[in-house]
Chain A
């Protein structure tokens, strides 16, 4: 800006300078010529007068210098010249001023010398005897003047240059100061110059637009972040060089193990397990790959897919799933299937063997009833097992289709103990029931099943001469049933496992049972919203406590 202002100022001053120079030279030139001519006219008249009076001898006198005086005869021969020898000079008749003077009595002419730097002004007067007197004076031509003016001109030019420089910078500073002071992010309505108002208006509207777009972008980014952050699946985008482009905290948790720590620069900084590396390498080579990463007790599934852009692989998208629970469930299911087949097979093998012996007629007639009893018992066990499995699977599927009603825990416990009295007597176990009737809301069959199973276990896993004590209490907010026994107890380390299907603390299976009883208790209690807890000491006995919520009455 300063440069342009400077150039304009300089150009204007140059133009003005040149114009004024031309004008002055033009005017002065004409003026000078006129004055010289007038001076010549007077002088010529004066000399002519002298010649008229004193003859040619007058010219020999010392005349005021500066002028060239020539006397020319009527035929053009030079009679006298005060600068040159007249004999050497050519005929002057055809000279413009002489010719004019011969014709009109006086004549004038201006001739430029060869160099153009000088010009000669001639004035000729016809004397009374016909001879012509010519007086001439040399004057500097216009060019000479111009050249002479050059030096001061240059001085003025330098001055103009410096002035233009100073002015330009000052002007531009003054012009720019208010513009620089403008806050472009919030241009007010007050423009420093009227001319700037449209520009400021445009900036304002653009600012608004940018702000709106920024807000939009931010919102979209937030939406995206919210979605990915709330995903329990890890999400990771990497480029060809395994640089991490985008990720969520679930990815950090699942791959690195902790959400804290620096943002990862490369995917391998998150995880270096062999499976993960294979996934990344394959995805970047253009192949989709799935791997299971198992470390400690957690199990994660990584799915890596390549991202293609314009036919080339630009990177990969990785999704990480926590499949620990799924894997655990899967292994539980496998275990269950194996257990079921095993448990079903044992009585069947026994039945098959016994039946085979009977079929071959190897049994004495008096032993037949014993063998038949064997078959009967094993078949009964099989049916009991199948029944238990059916019950469990019903509970798994959301319970039997029976209606909920009020159940008296005391009465249910009493009936369960009644049914067990024979078995208890056989094992020399005394049964005791304490407490008061308490009503809870539930499904009678399930409550009965739970209490019967608990009491049955208490009887079966007891020692001869032992005791089973069932206490039913109303604790205000809830109803509590405690089943205590003085039996063999459950070792501390397996207490958490006794509720699993087919799990038996007693590995020898000496007490019989299906291994499903406590599993039914657990699932039944969960179905009714009740809690089961277990306290046990090996060799001293176990206490199962059931807590039914009373709010469901």
Chain B
């Protein structure tokens, strides 16, 4: 019986990694679609979102089954409850990546506008990758690195906001564009927050202490 439990826990671990990887794919595809103005890649991100939703349901079922059938305690219980929390954050990351992808046809990022939205996207992708990595490697330092990266992303968001205000002031006809870009920046900032949440749940499952830094 216990053996089966361990097997199921291992499967949970694998499924979570897969879900994390799907999120990475989704946000990378969305960011690339945005930066290279490639609607084909945008579709990849939207497809990834559907897969992520599917995965979320699978992992959720697995977690509930584990909780009901095995009645885990201590560390195992912590891991499963952290997994339950993590998947909702991962699912949100997937949603927001697909939201960004949906905006791609309406947004044309021209070179030389000096917008920091590309830096923001790269920083956020890095955060998502690091948060999933910290889970895979059970690496506390990496998880904590994600929190500090979030501060940078927040600062970048403010910067992008200022830049967009400047753009509107210069040329009011680009207002709609700028609003869409602001939405993209906001989505990216939210993805950063969710990545931070994932990292926090990783820390919780390792140390049993949830770092409430939000």
Which positions in A face B, CB cutoff 8 Å? 241-243, 261-262, 265-266, 268-269, 272-274, 277
Nearest A-chain residue to B139, judged by Cβ: A261
> How far is B136's CA from A242's CA once the two chains are assembled, in angstroms?
14
Number of residue pairs A-B, CB distance < 8 angstroms = 35
CA of A252 to CA of B161, assembled, Å: 42
Chain A residue numbers with a CB within 8 Å of B10 are 241, 243, 265-266
> Which single member of A242, A261, A273 contacts B14 (CB below 8 Å)?
A242
Q: Which residue of A lies closest to B16 (CB)?
A: A268
B195 contacts A by Cβ under 8 Å: no
The one of A241, A262, A273 that contacts B11, using a Cβ cutoff of 8 Å: A241
Whether the pair A265, B20 counts as a contact (CB closer than 8 A) is no
Asked if residues B25 and A241 are in contact (CB atoms below 8 Å), the reply is: no
B21 touches which of A241, A242, A243, A272 (Cβ 8 Å): A272
B137 close to A268 (CB less than 8 A): no
- CB of B14 within 8 A of CB of A268, answer yes
Q: Does B18 contact A269, Cβ atoms closer than 8 Å?
A: no
Check B21 against A277 for contact (C-beta < 8 Å): yes
- A241-B14, A274-B21 in contact; A269/B136 too (CB < 8 A)? yes
Q: How far is the CB of B31 from chain A (nearest CB, A)?
A: 15
For residue B13, CB closer than 8 A to chain A, the reply is yes
25 pairs of residues in contact across A and B, judged by CB atoms under 8 Å: A241-B7, A241-B14, A242-B14, A243-B10, A261-B137, A265-B10, A265-B13, A266-B10, A266-B13, A266-B14, A268-B14, A268-B17, A268-B18, A268-B21, A268-B136, A269-B17, A269-B136, A269-B137, A272-B20, A272-B21, A272-B132, A272-B136, A273-B21, A274-B25, A277-B18
- CB-nearest residue of chain A relative to B10? A241
User: Nearest 5 A-B pairs (CB), nearest first?
Assistant: A272-B21, A268-B17, A269-B136, A266-B14, A274-B25
Q: Give the A-binding residues of B (Cβ under 8 A).
A: 7, 10-11, 13-14, 17-18, 20-21, 24-25, 132, 136-138
In the complex, what's the smallest C-beta–C-beta distance from A143 to chain B, in angstroms? 63
Known: A265-B10, A277-B18. 4 other contacts (CB 8 A): A262-B137, A266-B17, A272-B132, A272-B136
Instruction: Report how far A57 CA is from B203 CA in the complex, Å.
Output: 123
Contacts of B14 in A (CB 8 A): 241-242, 266, 268
Residues in A whose Cβ lies below 8 Å from that of B11: 241
Q: Chain B residues near A268: list those with CB within 8 A.
A: 14, 17-18, 21, 136
CB distance from B32 to the nearest CB of A (A): 13
Point out the residues of chain B lying under 8 angstroms from A265, CB to CB. 10, 13
Q: Give the Cβ gap from B202 to chain A, nearest Cβ, in Å.
A: 14
Asked if B137 and A272 make an inter-chain contact with CB atoms under 8 angstroms apart, the answer reads no
Q: How far, in whole Å, are A261 and B134 apart by their CA atoms in the complex?
A: 12
Query: B-side binding surface: helix, strand, loop or mixed?
Result: helix
- Chain B's nearest CB lies how many Å from the CB of A300? 17
A343 CB → nearest B CB, Å? 31
Min distance, Cβ B90 to any Cβ of chain A, angstroms:
13
- Provided the pairs A261-B137, A262-B137 are in contact, do residues A272 and B7 lie with their beta carbons within 8 angstroms? no
What is the CB-to-nearest-CB distance from B45 to chain A, in angstroms, rounded to a whole number? 12
Q: Which residues of B contact A272 (CB under 8 A)?
A: 17-18, 20-21, 24, 132, 136
Q: Most A CB atoms within 10 A — which of B7, B132, B136?
A: B136
Residues of A within 8 A of B13 (CB): 265-266
**B116 → chain A closest CB, angstroms:** 22
Nearest Cβ in chain B — how far from A236, in angstroms? 15
Which chain A residue shows the least CB distance to B138? A262
User: How many whole Å from A296's CB to the nearest CB in chain B?
Assistant: 13
Tell me, rounded to whole Å, the shortest Cβ–Cβ distance linking A240 to chain B: 11
- What is the distance, in angstroms, from B75's C-beta to the closest C-beta of chain A? 16
- Alpha-carbon distance A277/B93, docked complex (angstroms): 20
How distant is the Cα of A242 from the Cα of B21 in the complex, in angstroms? 15
Choose among A241, A268, A272 the residue with the greatest number of B CB atoms under 10 Å from its CB.
A272
- Closest Cβ–Cβ distance, residue A500 to chain B (whole Å): 27
Question: In the complex, what distance in Å separates the CA atom of A269 from the CA atom of B134?
Answer: 10
Taking the closest CB of chain B, its distance from the CB of A304, in whole angstroms, is 16
Complex-state Cα separation, A261 to B136, whole angstroms = 11
Min distance, Cβ B29 to any Cβ of chain A, angstroms: 9
Chain B contacts for A261, CB-based, 8 A: 137
Q: How far is the CB of B103 from chain A (nearest CB, A)?
A: 23
Q: CB-CB < 8 A to A273: which residues of B?
A: 21
A268, B18: Cα distance in complex, Å? 7
Q: Which residues of A contact B7 (CB under 8 A)?
A: 241
Separation of A269 and B13 alpha carbons in the complex (Å): 10
A265 to B25, CA, bound (A): 22
Report the nearest A residue to B7, measured CB to CB: A241
Chain A residues positioned under 8 Å from B20 (CB to CB): 272
Closest chain A CB from B132 CB (angstroms): 7
Chain A: minimal CB distance from B70 (Å): 17
Chain A residue nearest in CB terms to B29:
A274
- Residue of B whose beta carbon sits closest to that of A277: B21
State how many angstroms separate the Cβ of B169 from the closest Cβ of chain A. 37
- Chain A residues contacting B138 (CB-CB under 8 Å) are 262
**C-alpha spacing A277/B132, complex, angstroms:** 15
Q: Which residue of chain B has its CB nearest to the CB of A272? A: B21
Q: Closest CB of chain B to A546's CB: distance in Å?
A: 42
Chain A residue contacts of B132, Cβ below 8 A: 272
Residues of A within 8 A of B17 (CB): 266, 268-269, 272
- Once the chains are docked, how many angstroms separate the CA of A277 from the CA of B21? 9
Residue of B nearest to A276 (CB): B21
CB distance from B203 to the nearest CB of A (A): 17
Complex: how many Å from CA A7 to CA B167? 102
Closest to B21 in A: A272
Residue of A nearest to B17 (CB): A268
A274 to B23, CA, bound (A): 11
Question: Which residues on A sit within 8 Å (CB–CB) of B18?
Answer: 268, 272, 277
Q: Distance in Å from the Cβ of A279 to the closest Cβ of chain B? A: 13
Nearest-Cβ distance from residue B134 to partner chain A, whole angstroms = 12
Q: How far is the CB of B111 from chain A (nearest CB, A)?
A: 19
Give B58 Cβ to nearest chain A Cβ, in Å.
Answer: 14
Shortest CB-to-CB span from B34 to chain A, Å, is: 18
